Structure 1
Amino acid sequence: MTADVWLPLPADEIEGLPAPAESSLTYRFWDGGADFPADPADCVFYAVPYMTPMETAVRPLAAMTSVRVVQTLTAGIDHVQPGLAALPPGVRLCNAKGVHEASTAELALALVLASLRGVPGFVRGQDQEEWRSGFYPALADKSVLIVGYGSIGAAIEDRLAPFECARVARVARSARATERGEVRALADLPALLPKADVVILSTPLTERTKGLVSAEFLGRMRDGALLVNVARGPVVDTKALLAEVESGRITAALDVTDPEPLPAGHPLWHAPGVLISPHVGGSTSAFAPRAKRLLASQLTRFTAGEPLDNVVLTTG
């Protein structure tokens, strides 16, 4: 039996990996293809291929009887959770905290600015050679509510700082204090939503957050508010959102949708006041160098018997 590490990138492209001769590890490249690179039973460290369907991500898990670590390259872990029950006890599941903050926060801000300033309409106007001048909302002087104040939520606030927002409120699973100010609990949303001009979703998808943005949630948003989703599609009740945007009461900018990918003919495509990007918050040029640094660091810790970073849960 060998001690295999399954990597979604060729090992020779990742600087800083422990040398196989010194670590007794054998690196195997698997990017989610039909054929496994080796016997899954020999895998001790599984780095899940990035941007593959859930069915692909979990396919080898049941056969990974020796695995000790499952490392995602995503901030969320919802795409591997269905396979965790098949794993032996004591397996550490780690996420990719530190990999996606910069690019996801960039996109969140881009979606806010594009939606408020009317950029989609300008693009359509350019296609039709129309000069669509006028007054448009600015981010300056707006009140922003960030729902999901983990590392991505904090990175979004970092990028909001220069834009002269009137107020930034923060909500997470539980209340706490930060250097920037108070983080409120999810239970405080009913009181906070009516005060926000822009609501940005950056929360993980859990049983508690699935359908969080319900008809009641949306109904508490103020008239003319903008909803931005860079979290996961199922955090939002799509039917309830459609009712609100089709009425023209609120607008939305969505990097993620439910269903996803959004199929042709779906009413969200042409709903008024909706801007859609195809789940590209993390898939930028910033991904590869950060992902490689994370894998090298985690495997160095693993071979040295040191605590791993970003442990979300341990099977048991």
Structure 2
Amino acid sequence: MSDPLVWLPFDPSELGEVPAGLRFELFDHTRFTGGEVEVPDSVDEVAFYLPPYMLGSRIFDVVSQMTSLQVVQLLTAGVDAARGHIPEGVTLCNGRGIHDTSTAELAVTLVLSSLRGVPGHVRHQDEHAWRPGWFPSLADKRVLIVGYGAIGRAIEARLLPFETEVVAVARTAREGVHGFDELDTLVPEADVIVLATPLTDETRGLVDRKFLAQVKDGSLLVNVARGGVVVTSDLVAELATKRIHAAIDVAESEPLPAESPLWSSPNLLITPHVGGASSAMWPRAYRVVREQLERFAAGEPLANVMSGAY
């Protein structure tokens, strides 16, 4: 019996020393970006599949041909793109530990840039205009982090040195962490709200007209979670009042269409879903994948296993 086959979107040498007892193939996933996909004959031997990063749900079409598949390991923290594509009996693992650093950095960048008026300063620079002014500080702000997984905790760790008060919210309340059922009380008290929650049936549309109406005047909403957590039309309507500010790294439709009203919404900073896209990502990705493959080869329990209604 041959060793289990692993499909990777990069050269196996990037992982360093790989565990014995596994076979590796580099599958050119760029074929998924357009046209028909030519699937190698070895597809029915694949036991461990690592799809490429950020190429959408089409990368899972090939899964139905993987009759020997045991594990799908994602490079993303969110698993919403995989929903409905993973056969029963196949283990799905997310990329927990890969994006904590990069996404937390961007979250703090969006907070500081928005509060200190950096987008306006950039526009003034383009106009060769020197326009000083006073802006809110992050210091002394109450920051509400909605979603207290690995990324949420990484955001908190970076915010605390700025002399902030951080309030954490997760789906399930526990010591030091509030539950989603307390949002109606917590949202009106926050100066900054950072969304870092996975996109699930429970969180889809979480930030809607009612939620936004509870945000106090002058507060900042930052979304580094998933676009579907926020109802776009409700955010556009709220921003039109110029009552609050927002910064988003994600959108319900990506790439964000040129005709989207978000582009021209006031008090809004947009980045193109680059939360995980930094030099910090790949070293952490290689480490997480290598450790998972070591567990898989040894027959040990895998980490980051998704269960229930992911």
Using structure 1 for the length normalisation, give the TM-score: 0.93
In the TM superposition, 1:36-47 aligns within 5 A as 36-47=39-50
CA 1:302–1:241 in 2, change beyond 3 Å: closer, same or farther? same
Distance 2:69 2:201 in 1: 26
Alignment coverage as a number of residue pairs: 303
- 1:175 aligned to 148, 166, 173, which one? 173
CA contact (8 A) 2:6 2:22 kept: no
The aligned residue for residue 112 of structure 1 is 111
Matched, 1:63 2:62: no
Q: Does 1:264 align with 2:258?
A: yes
Partner of 1:12: 13
1:212 equivalent in structure 2: 206
Note closer, same or farther for the CA distance 1:80–1:66 as it changes in structure 2 (3 Å cut).
same
Q: Which amino acid aligns with 2:282?
A: A
Q: 1:252 & 1:174 partners in 2: Cα distance?
A: 26
Q: 1:24 to 1:125 in 2, by over 3 A?
A: closer
Partner of 1:235: 229
Post-superposition shift, 1:54? Answer: 1.0
Establish whether residue 137 from structure 1 lines up as the match of residue 131 from structure 2: no
Match of 2:52 among 33, 39, 49: 49
Q: CA deviation at 1:37?
A: 3.8
Task: Identify if the C-alpha distance between structure 1 residues 171 and 233 changes in structure 2 by more than 3 Å, giving closer, same or farther.
Answer: same
1:265 deviates by 2.3
Aligned-pair CA distance for 1:28: 3.5
Name the aligned partner's letter for residue 98 of structure 2: V
Change (3 A) 1:9 1:314: farther
**What is the alpha-carbon distance in structure 1 between the residues aligned to residue 153 and residue 212 of structure 2?**
23
Matched, 1:255 2:249: yes
Q: Offset of 1:313 from its aligned partner?
A: 2.4
Alpha-carbon contact 2:195-2:224 (below 8 Å) kept? yes
Aligned to 2:34: none
**1:278 maps onto 2:278 in alignment:** no
Secondary structure of 1:83's partner?
A: coil
Say if 2:10 and 2:26, in contact at 8 Å, map to a contact too.
Answer: no
RMSD: 1.5
Could you tell me how far 1:191 is from its partner in structure 2? 0.3
Structure 2 residue identity aligned to 1:73: L
Q: 1:276 to 1:24 in 2, by over 3 A?
A: closer
> Structure 1 stretch 155-164 or stretch 32-41: which is displaced more?
32-41
Select 1:194's aligned residue among 188, 192, 195: 188
Question: What is the SS of the residue equivalent to 1:134?
Answer: coil
**What amino acid is the match of 1:7?**
L
SS in 1 for 2:213: helix
Which ranges in structure 1 are unaligned for 5 or more consecutive residues?
A: none
CA spacing shift, 1:134–1:314, aligned 2, 3 Å: closer
Written as runs of structure 1 = structure 2, the 5 A alignment for 1:52-91 is: 52-55=55-58, 57-84=59-86, 87=87, 89-91=88-90
Q: Is the 8 A contact 1:4 1:28 kept in 2?
A: no
* 1:138 CA displacement: 0.6
Q: Which amino acid aligns with 2:277?
A: S
State the SS of the aligned residue for 2:276: coil
- CA offsets, 1:8-44, max 9 Å, x none? 111122212124xxx0424343434233344321110
Contact 1:28 1:38 in 2 (8 A): no
- For residue 120 of structure 1, report the CA deviation from its aligned partner: 0.2
Please tell me the residue identity of whatever aligns with 1:308.
L
CA contact (8 A) 2:8 2:24 kept: no
Deviation digits for residues 277-306 of structure 1, max 9, x if unmatched?
000000111111111111111111101101
Q: Compute the displacement of 1:235 (Å).
A: 0.3
Q: Which residue of 1 aligns with 2:160?
A: 161
1:91 is displaced (CA, Å) by 1.5
Structure 2 residues without counterparts, runs of 5 or longer: 32-36
Looking at structure 2, the residues matched to 24 and 187 of structure 1 have their Cα atoms a distance apart, in angstroms, of: 46
Deviations 1:138-159 (A, max 9, x none): 1011110000000100000000
Residues 30 and 49, structure 1, Cα contact 8 Å, conserved in 2: no
Q: Which amino acid aligns with 1:169?
A: V
Residue type of the alignment partner of 2:46: C
Q: Where does residue 297 of structure 1 map in the other structure?
A: 291
Structure 1 counterpart of 2:280, one-letter code: A
Distance 1:194 1:150 in 2: 23
How far off is 1:314 after superposition? 7.9
TM-score (norm 2): 0.94
Q: Are the equivalent residues in 1 in contact too, given 2:227–2:252 (CA < 8 A)?
A: yes
Displacement of 1:81 after TM fit? 1.2
CA contact (8 A) 1:144 1:198 kept: yes
